[in-house]
Amino acid sequence: MKPRTNRFDREAAFSMDLVNPDSDTPDAINCAATLNGSSICFLENSIAKTVSAETADPENKEPDTRHSYQFIYQIGSTNPIVARTILQVKSILGSVILRKGLSNQTILDHAWDCTQHLISCEDSFLSIYNETTDLMYKCDELINEAKYKSHIPSLPQVKNLTERIVTFLGNGKRFLEKSHELLCIFYGAANNDSNFQAYRDWMKKHEPSRVAVYDLLEQNKDWIKSLAWYRNALDINHARAGFRVTIENFKLQAGNKFTGPCWQYDFQDKGGDIQNSPSDLIVDINAFRANMLAFFEALSLTCIKDNWDSQWNFEIYRHEDERINPKCPIIFFVGLNHE
């Protein structure tokens, strides 16, 4: 009897079931793409990176090396942040022809960089929001139980609140820098890092006919500056007298009431204002989160429209609300304008 052999042929066709160990919910694959040299698979509720045996062992030193995959994010195509950034850009680039000199892959890789920073912002926001919501009920119970006592015990706190805000704002600022770098790719603008004013000045001087892009930058300049200042004015970064953001956790107030996570800024040293009273931290970072998504969506669409082949009558259209796919809520698409 011949011995059984079970040799692995890495060159043979193969398939993999992507099973997320952190979820019991079935997760269907939406699409896949090669991004920054990696094979990325977008599922409805997660994102995974697949690694072929050839990638893991390119010189074939270990022929028994198997194909594999690794989940990298616990949100997927059903999340608007994923759908309206990388997946929408991928869909639209697949529907147009760009002018010569532009690479679809370069644009996709850059859009993926932007998306990953925004996903990190989303993760920070949701972790703070969910924990704050839970602790609000606990604070209510704690105060009610102590109403007939002489004191109220220490209120529960959102863990590592400052560190999470540092992460949110750090990724937010980096997202803005990477988003503005689209101007370098599409128009040849100089890379000005976090000098967002310089990008506006460059566009106005070198691309005066690109009115839509310049107007978009102008319309968003105030909150963009605000996010950058919030990040820079943290103690861990560049805070100083007259330029500081103070973060507070759950705090007991007069009348046996409490306030949730809040913050207060002083931007006077930069020519800005000083905030008279703290504002709701979650409301504010949620606004930043929404603004970043809308800004990237508008900027990427405008840059593509400015640079597609004018020989074709391409036009950007918006899906009617009832036609938006909840499994991948892309809002805009490209078609031919037959008029």
Question: Which amino acid is it at 15?
Answer: S
Tens digit of each residue's pLDDT, the chain (339 residues): 444 445 655 555 455 566 777 667 778 889 999 999 999 999 999 999 987 766 655 556 656 656 578 889 999 999 999 999 999 999 999 999 999 999 999 999 999 999 999 999 999 999 999 999 999 999 999 999 888 888 999 999 999 999 999 999 999 999 999 999 999 999 999 999 999 999 999 999 999 999 999 999 999 999 999 999 999 999 999 899 999 999 999 999 998 899 999 999 999 999 999 999 999 999 999 999 999 999 999 999 999 999 999 889 999 999 999 999 999 999 999 998 866
Q: What is the DSSP letter of 156?
A: P
- Pairing status of strand 68-73 against strand 244-248: unpaired
Q: What is the pLDDT of residue 70?
A: 85
Question: With 0-12 CB in 10 A as exposed, 13-18 as middle and 19+ as buried, what is 141?
Answer: exposed
- C-alpha angle 223-225-228 in degrees, rounded to nearest 5: 110
Handedness of CA 182, 187, 189, 195 (dihedral sign): negative
- pLDDT given at position 67: 56
User: Domain coordinates of the chain in residue numbers?
Assistant: 7-76, 79-336
Neighbour count for residue 249 (Cβ, 10 Å): 18
Instruction: Report pLDDT for 51.
Output: 79
Q: Name, in order, each residue with C-beta under 8 angstroms of 55's C-beta and a sequence gap of 6 or more.
A: 39
Query: pTM to 2 decimals?
Result: 0.90
Task: Report d(CA 46, CA 51) in Å as an integer.
Answer: 16
Residue 157 has what pLDDT?
A: 97
Q: How far apart are CA 263 and CA 273, in angstroms?
A: 14
| pLDDT the model gives residue 102 | 96
Quote the pLDDT of residue 2.
47
**Rounded Cα gap, residues 240 and 265, in angstroms:** 12
Give the Cα separation of 306 and 102 in Å (integer): 12
d(CA 66, CA 53): 5
- The whole-angstrom distance between residue 251's C-alpha and the CA centroid of its chain comes to 30
Q: Do 161 and 247 contact (CB within 8 A), yes or no?
A: yes
Measured distance CA(184)–CA(151) in Å, rounded: 60
How much of the chain is helix, strand and coil, in % rounded to 5?
45, 15, 40
E strand or H helix at 31 = strand 29-35
CB atoms within 10 A of CB 245: 22
- Do 326 and 83 meet the contact criterion of CB atoms below 8 Å apart? no
For residues 221 and 319, what is the distance between their CA atoms, to the nearest angstrom?
Answer: 28
